[in-house]
Amino acid sequence: MTYDSSNIFAKILRGEIPCHKVYEDSDAICFMDVMPQGPGHALIVPKAPSRNMLDADPAVLAKLLPLIQKITKASKAAFGADGITVMQFNEPAGGQTVFHLHYHVIPRFDGVPLKSHSGKMEDPAILAANAEKLRAALA
């Protein structure tokens, strides 16, 4: 399969669709997932186009891991989480639904299961507040 530049994350990267941005540098952006599986669920999206890890440039992947770690540490602190789940999916059989490489960073709390990715969008005020918490922890 080839990369489709009309995917929602490509549109966010181009500024065509708004997001609750947490962090951005020349290589990637981090923003809140609009259908979170838990409070503070964020996404890390590289700016370089690729469907997923299967076709990603290894140099892009090398730049992402330190950012994933940075966001993970900040997320644990910002939300007082007991742990963090980092997820990444490849192709439909692997659970991928948006075909631009991305990583999920989800704060986790003992005894609290992940919510399903239901298609129900979170209240924008909650997303904005969570983005602010995460930005503050990154400062």
- Which of 47, 40, 49 is CA-nearest to residue 1? 49
H or E segment and range at residue 138: helix 124-138
Query: d(Cα 139, Cα 136) in Å, to the nearest integer?
Result: 5
Amino acid at 53: M
- HSE of 62 in the Cβ direction (CA atoms, 13 Å)? 3
Residue 51 located in a structural domain: yes
Residue 38 located in a structural domain: yes
**The predicted structure's pLDDT at residue 120:** 86
**The predicted structure's pLDDT at residue 13:** 98
Residue 3 located in a structural domain: no
Containing domain of residue 113, as a range? 8-138
Query: d(Cα 111, Cα 102) in Å, to the nearest integer?
Result: 26
Q: How many domains does the chain have?
A: 1
Which CATH number is 50's domain given? 3.30.428.10
Q: What is the DSSP letter of 82?
A: S
Distances (CA, A) of 77 to 15, 22, 133: 29, 15, 9
Beta bridge partners of 30: 23, 44
**The predicted structure's pLDDT at residue 36:** 96
- Which of 69, 60, 54, 84 is CA-nearest to residue 23? 69
Could you tell me how many residues make up the chain?
139
pLDDT tens-digit series, residues 13-57: 999 999 999 999 999 999 999 999 999 999 999 999 999 999 999
pLDDT tens-digit series, residues 49-88: 999 999 999 999 999 999 999 999 999 999 999 999 999 9
Q: What is the arithmetic mean of pLDDT over 108-122?
A: 91
pLDDT score of 3 more than 90: yes
Residue 89 located in a structural domain: yes
Q: What is the arithmetic mean of pLDDT over 107-132?
A: 94
Residue 124 located in a structural domain: yes
Catalytic residues: 102
Residue 2 located in a structural domain: no
Residue 100 located in a structural domain: yes
Residue 60 located in a structural domain: yes
pLDDT score of 1 more than 80: no
